[in-house]
Structure 1
Amino acid sequence: MAAITPDIAGLRALSHPVRLRMLGLLRTEGPATATTLAARLDLNTGATSYHLRQLAQHGFIVEDTDRGNARDRWWRAAHSETRTDARGQGIDGEHMEAYLATVAQLYADRLRAAVAEMSFLPEEWADVGSLSDWELRLTPAQAEALVQRLEAIIEETTSSDDPEAAPFAVNLNAFVRPGLPWGER
């Protein structure tokens, strides 16, 4: 599966936290029905079906015709990842900010859940992750080069079929520190 770069309408559709969570579940856990997703997300099936139709309308998911029947409709992710680039797509700041705020909310929720489960991890996984941060003084060109190098490392790393392998989430958050008085850099 390839990546998708949504247009402004698709970005607006993904700005809803439930839809973004659904898409994430379909990507990480595989195909599911509205009933399965409703139970997983603690929603009613009507709301779940509505959100699934919105995701399908914008090409993020497709019906999985290899499963189910007319009464038991299965859905799967149409792409393995979503990429956004406001500059290249002509997306205004307001829509991009709404989408990114939803992404940040879901990342924070996932990180909180991971921290809550850390003490229950098997010993071999206990010290594998990192919740580290660095603050560097970089030019825009240096910052862009750093992000591109980090993305390349992540993209070059292939998933393992080893029985000891487990899903391992990597979030790359790189940004200018908020609150800077731009006249006093």
Structure 2
Amino acid sequence: MTDDDGPVAEERTLDISAMKAIAHPLRVAIYDTLSQYGAQTASGLGAHLGESSGATSYHLRQLAKHGLIREVPGKGTARERWWERPPGGVTMGGADVLSTPSGREASGFVLREMINRRTREIQRFFVDDFQRESVAWQEAATFSSANLRLTADQLDALNSEVYALLQTWVDRHRDQEGDGVRPVTVQYNSLPLPESLEGES
């Protein structure tokens, strides 16, 4: 499971300690929100996530202990600190983590939380809010899939090509500001289907 949000040079694979630290619903939500919206304060995150600033502040500190997030240098005050997710790709659930039961449990929890968040985002835009969006955003957004027959090596090569393309856009537009600019999430999933329909319910 890879969460890409910055230069390839800063790629990081989370160890078991960091995976256990993020394996909490609010911490996943905080980490994901900082990835999507940039630097935030504990009170801003609390308002966005429906939590108290005390709760978000506590979980921000726990995430920071493991280098998952960091305080924004030179911004904020002693009373109102700003937090950000460091740029760079992050791989969750590496081989070392998945080699232990506790690592597999933590990875599975974080993955489920991320999938649930992505599913809610798709539902919100395409079902709940679509008619309220401008025509420009309705036409720009997409929900699509392609079905192929590939080997594992071919799928890996396809993913590498797509990742490289996305990375050029991340590098070019990561901090873009201006009229008409808003946060955008690109969700690219690729996975093998069961080899036959047997047993599918």
Could you state the TM-score of these two structures normalised by the residue count of structure 2? 0.77
Which residue among 58, 72, 87 is the counterpart of 1:64?
72
1:18-167 aligned at under 5 Å gives the runs 18-84=26-92, 86-87=94-95, 89-92=96-99, 93-115=104-126, 116-157=128-169, 158-159=172-173, 163-167=179-183
What is the deviation of 1:77? 1.8
What is the deviation of 1:80? 4.4
Equivalent pair of 2:41/2:82 in contact (CA under 8 Å): yes
CA separation of 1:75 and 1:154: change in aligned 2, threshold 3 A: same
The answer to which structure, 1 or 2, has the higher relative contact order (CA under 8 A, 6+ apart) is 2
CA separation of 1:17 and 1:178: change in aligned 2, threshold 3 A: farther
Equivalent pair of 1:61/1:76 in contact (CA under 8 Å): yes
Using the alignment, how far apart are the partners of 1:80 and 1:119 within structure 2? 35
Aligned partner of 2:80: which letter?
D
Using the alignment, how far apart are the partners of 1:113 and 1:80 within structure 2? 27
Using the alignment, how far apart are the partners of 2:23 and 2:194 within structure 1? 22
Secondary structure at 2:80 match in 1: coil
Using the alignment, how far apart are the partners of 1:55 and 1:45 within structure 2? 15
Using the alignment, how far apart are the partners of 1:179 and 1:15 within structure 2? 32
What is the deviation of 1:97? 2.0
Secondary structure at 1:75 match in 2: strand
Percent identity of paired positions between Structure 1 and Structure 2:
28
Equivalent pair of 1:63/1:76 in contact (CA under 8 Å): yes
Aligned partner of 2:106: which letter?
H
CA RMSD in angstroms, aligned pairs only: 2.5
Deviation string 1:126-162 (CA, Å, 9 cap, x unpaired) is 2122211223222111111111111111112232566
2:13 corresponds to: 5
Deviation string 1:67-121 (CA, Å, 9 cap, x unpaired) is 222222222222344223523x443333322221121111112111222222122
Equivalent pair of 1:15/1:99 in contact (CA under 8 Å): yes
Could you state the TM-score of these two structures normalised by the residue count of structure 1? 0.83
Which sections of structure 1, spanning at least 5 residues, go unmatched?
none
